[in-house]
Amino acid sequence: MNPLNHVAIIMDGNGRWGLKHKNSRNAGHKAGINTVEKIIKASIKKKIKYLTLYAFSTENWKRPKKEIKYLFYLLEYFLNKRIEEFHKQNIRLNVIGDKKFSKKLNQLLKFVELKTSQNNKLQVNLALNYGSKSEIINTIKKMIKNKKKINEKKFFQQFINKKYT
């Protein structure tokens, strides 16, 4: 058993690498896909159970529209190309983050998650449209909502106890 259970990688620098080596940010993103494939293979070989790839943050929406379009094209291409192999290799894909994408991409993400949902050799968490600021805000909203529910529950429980005891 491998004591290393979970590896998380922030996929940063592909665009800069592409500019430096191929004079194109998109070439760097494409090269990043090859690196992801190598990382997945190495994770399986090392018997790592969870791999989280931070692939597209909320801050990435500030990039040029052409670059964003290409990034999502690459994601769709990669998933369509690899879904059957993931499934055969017993890899589960789990998408985390705020799933506000095109209808086509959302359907593909749901399909890939559903198709691989019973797999358990390696779980690849793909973090898309995530950000620490939005995570903090969403967590606080949930806490407020849960506190309100708890307070309402306590109120009704007290009301029932006073009225019927």
What's the maximum distance between 2 C-alpha atoms anywhere in the chain?
78
- What torsion do the CA atoms of 38, 44, 48, 49 make, to the nearest 10 degrees? 120
Under CATH, to which class is 6-130 assigned?
alpha beta
pTM for the model stands at: 0.78
- Structure confidence by residue, pLDDT tens digits, 112-138: 999 999 999 999 999 999 887 777 777
Q: What is the rounded distance in angstroms from the CA atom of residue 101 to the CA atom of residue 162? A: 50
Sign of the CA dihedral with 9 first, then 10, 13, and 14 last: positive
Domain boundaries, the chain: 6-130, 133-165
CB distance 25 to 15 below 8 Å: yes
Respond yes or no: is residue 98 known to be catalytic: no
Among the options 5, 12, 80, 98, which is catalytic? 12
Please tell me the distance from the alpha carbon of residue 124 to that of residue 7, in angstroms, as a whole number: 10
Check if 60 is active-site.
yes
Out of 5, 14, 26, 60, the active site residue is 60
pLDDT in tens, 42-91: 999 999 999 999 999 988 999 999 999 999 999 999 999 999 999 999 99
